[in-house]
Amino acid sequence: MNRESYNLIAAQWSAARASFFGRERELLDALLSVVPAGATVLDLGCGTGRPMAEHIVAQGRRVLGVDQSEALLSMARSNLPDERWVLSTMQAFEIDQPCHGALLWDSLFHVPRAEHEPILHKVVDALPVGARLMLTVGGSAHPAFTDTMFGQPFFYDSNTPEESEQILVRLGCRIVIGEFMNLPDGGRDKGRYAIVAEKVQPLRSRTSSKMLQEDA
């Protein structure tokens, strides 16, 4: 659903995401503060590359962008032709080059929540200790739902902010920043919560984690 919908609204989405909203730039700078010059940041659900990837490149880093929408990815390639852009879902993409930071901005909540931890596991596992990742999740507890944007349907699902932070801590991260981008209103707006997390210890394998749980 979301792939076709984003393809259909690519022009509107590009216009809507031409600049930063709220504290997005400050949060992204917090991630970039520990990314070496010239190193690559993974952007899962990169869209058109605006404004996030543009800012990353402007700050002297590289981008590996991944998105399932052909139309949005075509715009990203046009906007930033020297960066690497891959057509794939977040679930299917295998990280095949060194990355020193990761971004899952307004993208993770488009896949079922049961898939969030495996995706985050993959991302955290690929990062060196000391690197940071930045993501948004839903701002409240609610079942999966479909809503519309620019007249097209989109699927949404998310763990709560607390559950999402707990997942990251289990994966060996500490929460650097956790704050609401917009609060839930009790109605259509379920809220949006931003997290910047830092990897502080090597990630145990899933097999080792499972064995430890069984031994407990």
Q: For the segment 132-160, what is each residue's pLDDT rounded down to a tens digit?
A: 999 999 999 889 999 999 999 999 999 99
Amino acid 184: pLDDT:
86
Amino acid 186: pLDDT:
81
Amino acid 205: pLDDT:
53
Band (pLDDT 50/70/90 cuts) for residue 107 is: very high
pTM: 0.92
Q: Among 71-85, 167-181, 189-203, whose mean pLDDT is lowest?
A: 189-203
- Phi, psi values for residue 163, rounded to 5°: -65, -40
Provide the percentage of residues in the chain whose pLDDT is more than 70: 94
My answer on whether omega of the bond before 51 falls inside 30° of 0, hence cis, is yes
Amino acid 215: pLDDT:
44
pLDDT tens-digit readout, 12-46: 999 999 999 999 999 999 999 999 999 999 999 99
Amino acid 142: pLDDT:
87
Which of 173, 70, 56 is CA-nearest to residue 103? 56
The rounded distance, in Å, linking the Cα atoms of 30 and 45 is: 19
Q: Is the dihedral of CA 173, 179, 182, 183 positive or negative?
A: positive
| pLDDT exceeds 50 at position 214 | no
Are the C-beta atoms of 74 and 48 separated by less than 8 Å?
no
Band (pLDDT 50/70/90 cuts) for residue 161 is: very high
Amino acid 203: pLDDT:
79
Band (pLDDT 50/70/90 cuts) for residue 213 is: very low
Amino acid 207: pLDDT:
37
